[in-house]
Structure 1
Amino acid sequence: MTPKTIECVIFDCDGTLVDSEILCNQGLVNVFTRYRALITLEECLTKYKGGKMVEILTAICGDHHLSLNLAELEKEYREELRQLFDKYLTPVNGVPLMLEKIQMPICVASNGPASKMEHTLGLTGLLPRFEGKLFSAFDANCWKPDPGLLAYAAKGMGVNLGKCVLVEDSVPGVMAGINAGIPVFHYCRDEHSEPVNHPLVTRFANMEALPSLLLQAD
């Protein structure tokens, strides 16, 4: 694949465009502390990053022997997250400048609901770049690492999935790209980022470097 044949750059949202990973996991700590579960931020970052929300909540309940209504628990968690985002959310460092430099079509494909993407991208000033280009697993009924979400996004953009590239920070997201057979740019910025060694995966740690990496894509 060359820059001229890339028809779309598909971005993940949380941890890739918006600096939400610490806040998302702090939200889990805050909520489960109310139920006397001794869960730490480090544990959340290590064990529960990038998965489907209901599966994360189920896993934590199982690990801490809690019997809770998952629908009510998810509602409580999303409200906790909304409050944390309103106070503390920022773009991932380097993202605004990176987006200014990318001339290719772009979109977002996230395991989260569209309303969450609209909220977080709106808070960080990134939403205008992605208006009408937000694709949620809840609408596709496919969650990463299933590549179906990426196919759904490509179809929504009117492009061939085989001519897309993916920018991701989580292992499930990277696996979705590998399962789709497309190049993946894996954003790994700290010790919580688990590297994925695969011919389709390019690892990078600075968002401002992404435009140059796309120009070197093959």
Structure 2
Amino acid sequence: MARRETALQTAHGRLRELIGSEFRSGDKLPNERDLADRLEVSRATVREVLGQLAAEGVVTRTWGIGTFVHDGAERVPVSIGDVTALRDRITASGHRPTLQDATVSRAKCPADCAKVLGLEPDSPVWRVDRLFAVDGVPAAWIRDHLPLRFDDRDLDPSGLVSIDLDMFEFLASATGMPVRRAEIELAAVLADEESTARLGVAVGHPLITATQIGYGAGGAALFHGHITVRTDVLTLRISRGGD
């Protein structure tokens, strides 16, 4: 095991040196076979090292297209450990958030959403689609569903088409109940045609998706959302605090 780890470390160092000396930001690297020949290691070793370099942000890998030297653009770290507007998290990192696209419409409630909100499947709900950009680059596509009414109050989320109003702010005002807790479940995916159209990436580009549920006092679910994030623009950070 120690010998294998040493071989990986050596290959890792040699590949980083090769990238730094012969390639520029945005360049496509040779395929795994060619790299294995140059480094005199197996393709499996090259594949593992490229995975490490991708995790470190040195390269980006797109299935079916290839591996590229990271373009050097700064990725914006945002914390998902607290209930804070994405707009404010981006601003706090010293970057400019904008809404490139936003729509509010009535839609049929998907089954997973209906279960969370305590509704029948296909019940009418509000659907809010928003495409957030960071410094003009598409970064996060968020699709939220929320009920038409909550505690006998009609909800009108039309103001969410503006960057000036966040979902948490809207719900606190409209329901009289602030979002006290958010549950987020993350998954790694490859871009499909819909996320390609939204986020401006190639099919197969690595993305992170998250399912988010916001709860008010007493555990009442206020909204159910899906978030798709370009991790070459945003990095997600989870912070845990202790007493």
> Which TM-score applies when normalising by structure 2?
0.22
| Structure in which a larger fraction of residues adopt helix | 1
| Structure in which a larger fraction of residues adopt strand | 2
> RCO greater where, 1 or 2, for CA within 8 Å and sep 6 or more?
1
> Which TM-score applies when normalising by structure 1?
0.24
Q: Decide which structure has the larger Cα Rg and report it.
A: 2
